[in-house]
Structure 1
Amino acid sequence: MKFSIQRDRLIQSVQDVMKAISPRTTIPILTGIKIVATSEGVAFTGSDSDVSIESFIPKEEDGDELVEIFTPGAIVLQAKFFSEIVKKLPMDIVEIEVINHLQTVIRSGKSEFNLNGLDPEEYPHLPQISEENVFKIPTDIVKNLIRQTVFAVSTSETRPILTGVNWKVESDQLTCVATDSHRLAMRSAAIDFVNEAKYNIVIPGKSLNELNKILDDTNEPVEIVITENQILFKAKHLLFFSRLLEGNYPDTSRLIPSESKTDIVINTKEFLQAIDRASLLAREGRNPNVVKFSTLMSGIIEISSNTPEVGKVVEQVQSQSIEGEDLKISFSAKYMMDALKALEGLEIRISFTGAMRPFIIRPINDESILQLILPVRTY
């Protein structure tokens, strides 16, 4: 195998596939990046058996020559060393050649590295996914769906199913839900799907975080293919496979209250900043990071926190409107700040159904997104 390649594109592809490589793998070949050169271009693959990423660099794109193939072939190179080497090469063009079976030479300008390669035949094949049921979503919407839900997955392995995000596909609608049983994030979006198939799957939160890092912010569509135990995301020159979590995701629809006793409309940014300030003194004590929230006269909300050994903070914020009963409630400042950062829009509506019941936060005039938080007992 021998080819030359643009260094910038090489670095980008290597960084993308590195996101699938685990330093703790027990399978030696999976510490490597598989490189395959064909007459069409060069493919780079990384995998940890849960997530597999393939990045393809075509011979040319938009009239620019990116790769010149002299001899097709394949090799697996130690990811840790290969990724460090390509970042530090001196020139814009890199030449990679396999000599003496697996010995690999990497040249750029006056710099030359020799790396011991591994046998590409031993590298596991990417899952073969039949692509009958493909649906498409613009990349920027996929990124938003992930960003607005994945933060609410559980980090505890006691209920593994909650470490993933539940994706439900039904009649050209995708609904994504994440919960750690103290809070819930939900976002739905219309999808381009001609099939009548229904899906109810759980994607590991870790996989979605990695996918979000390597997708570009464009409105180009991402093709998504779901099988029994795998999901494939296909973007331009990129394949991202993830295994799915096994088990049934809990029915979260019954957690979402249908009526409310107190409704508050408030400026998102002002509210977020007030919660942030109140949380400064709420980090210690019996209920760490808990702030108190109460309604006062003429649309004013009081946000406070009190840690006897540190001090207390009280702040009043003017809401746009308060309807319904007076309210005193306590909740996690972190959960509230996470939820507010995920929402879009200048104003939000918070709907409460009592001091010890879950409450809902939504942007004004947008039914596609919802955040739910369980209060904390302090009053």
Structure 2
Amino acid sequence: MKFTVQKEYLVKAVQDVMKAVSSRTTIPILTGIKIVVTQEGMILTGSDSDISIESFIPSTLDDQHILEVQQTGSIVLNAKYFGEIVKKLPSDFVEIESDQNFVTKIKSGKTEFSLNGFDAEEFPLLPQIEEHETFRISADLLKFMIRQTVFAVSTSETRPILTGVNWKIENGDLTCIATDSHRLALREAKIEMDSMDNNFKVSVVIPGKSLNELSKILDDNDEKVEIVLTEHQALFKTKHILFFTRLLEGNYPDTTKLIPNECKTELTVDTKTLLQAIDRASLLARDGRNNVVHLETVDQSIVNISSYSPEIGKVVDEIICKELKGEELKISFSAKYVMDALKAIESPEIYIQFTGVMRPFLIRTANDTKTLQLILPVRTY
């Protein structure tokens, strides 16, 4: 195998596939990146037990010559060292050549490395997915939906199903739901279906870790991502990337019963103002019990955000609401959970619906039914 490739394309492809490479694997070849070179282009693959990522570098892109192949072939190179090497090479072009003993020379400018490789035939094959039903969504919207939900997955393995995000498709709508049993994040969006079958329904649970890695790879543009969901795997396809992830097994809990239909107290407030007030209140609450802060309505337009620590002191912050109606309220909650929710919504103004001191409350944006954050209060009073 012998070829020359533009460094910037190689570095980007290596960084993408490395997100699937685990340093803790017990299978030595999975610490490597598989490289396959043909006259059409170069395919790089990284994989662990959960995620597999394949990146394609075409020989020519937009009339620009990226890859010149003198001899086709394949090799597996240690991901950690290969990744560091290509990133630090001095020239804009990289020449790579491997012999029959899998010894690989990497040249750039006056610099030359030699790496011992593995036989690519020993690298596991990617999952075989039958593409019965596919749908599409723009990359920037998909990144946005991941960002608005994945932070709420559970980090505890006691209920593994909650470490993933529930993706449900029905009537041409994709609903993403994440919960750790103390909070819930929900985001809906329209999707483009290949099938004209409006009865198509599916419900899968995608690991939060996989979605975080996918989000890092996706570009912020309106190019469509093609998605295939099967019983055990999900596949995300972009122009030059294939991203495979296993699905979590088990039934995701029915979260519809958690979302209250009634409302006793409502307030509309500037998001940044509330976020900063909770952040200040949490300064004294961090070392205390569960980082709890308190919200109390004062009159028809004012709420107080406060926290109290017997060892440290007390803080009270007054906020003027744009609108406040309903019953008087005194409620306590995790500062972290509410701040996470406010950051995820990314709206200048938010609307909060309270249903009682010990009932879940909802954070929404005005006139938006597609985004919802639910948080359980903490009993302190």
Distance in 1, Cα, partners of 2:51 & 2:356? 43
Structure 1 partner of 2:312: 310
Structure 1 partner of 2:150: 150
Distance in 2, Cα, partners of 1:145 & 1:229? 22
Larger deviation: 82-91 or 172-181?
Answer: 82-91
Distance in 2, Cα, partners of 1:179 & 1:82? 38
Match for residue 291 of structure 2 among 289, 292, 299? 289
Structure 1 partner of 2:266: 263
Distance in 2, Cα, partners of 1:117 & 1:233? 29
Question: 1:125-178 CA deviation, whole Å, 9 max, x = no partner?
Answer: 111112221100000000011000000000000000000000001121000000
Distance in 2, Cα, partners of 1:19 & 1:346? 33
TM-score, normalized by length of structure 1?
0.98
Larger deviation: 190-199 or 158-167?
Answer: 190-199
Structure 1 partner of 2:103: 103
Match for residue 208 of structure 2 among 200, 205, 208? 205
Distance in 2, Cα, partners of 1:15 & 1:344? 28
Distance in 1, Cα, partners of 2:14 & 2:219? 16
Counterpart AA for 2:167: W
Identical-residue share of aligned pairs (%): 64
Distance in 2, Cα, partners of 1:359 & 1:148? 17
Hey, which bits of structure 1, 4+ residues long, moved more than 2 A? 194-197
Q: CA deviation at 1:317?
A: 0.2
Distance in 1, Cα, partners of 2:339 & 2:60? 45
Counterpart AA for 1:150: V
Q: CA deviation at 1:15?
A: 0.6
Q: CA deviation at 1:315?
A: 0.6
Structure 1 partner of 2:241: 238
For residues 209-358 of structure 1, what are the structure 2 equivalents within 5 Å?
209-285=212-288, 287-358=289-360
Distance in 1, Cα, partners of 2:369 & 2:32? 45
Question: 1:251-298 CA deviation, whole Å, 9 max, x = no partner?
Answer: 00000001111111111111111111111111122x231000000113
Whether the aligned pair in 2 keeps the contact of 1:345 and 1:364 (CA below 8 Å) is no
Whether the aligned pair in 2 keeps the contact of 1:186 and 1:371 (CA below 8 Å) is yes
Counterpart AA for 2:228: V
Q: CA deviation at 1:227?
A: 1.0
Structure 1 partner of 2:170: 170
Question: 1:174-212 CA deviation, whole Å, 9 max, x = no partner?
Answer: 000000000000000000014332110000000000000
Counterpart AA for 2:52: S
TM-score, normalized by length of structure 2?
0.98
Distance in 2, Cα, partners of 1:56 & 1:184? 37
For residues 43-58 of structure 1, what are the structure 2 equivalents within 5 Å?
43-58=43-58
Q: CA deviation at 1:99?
A: 1.4
Structure 2 partner of 1:18: 18
Say whether 1:361 aligns with 2:379: no
Question: 1:2-41 CA deviation, whole Å, 9 max, x = no partner?
Answer: 1100011111110111100010001111000000001110
Distance in 1, Cα, partners of 2:171 & 2:354? 31
Where structure 2 has 5 or more consecutive residues not aligned to the other structure, the ranges are none
What's the secondary structure of 1:274's corresponding residue? Answer: helix
Structure 1 partner of 2:141: 141
Larger deviation: 306-315 or 95-104?
Answer: 95-104
Structure 2 partner of 1:180: 180
Whether the aligned pair in 2 keeps the contact of 1:344 and 1:363 (CA below 8 Å) is no
Structure 2 partner of 1:3: 3
Whether the aligned pair in 2 keeps the contact of 1:11 and 1:86 (CA below 8 Å) is yes
Counterpart AA for 2:108: S
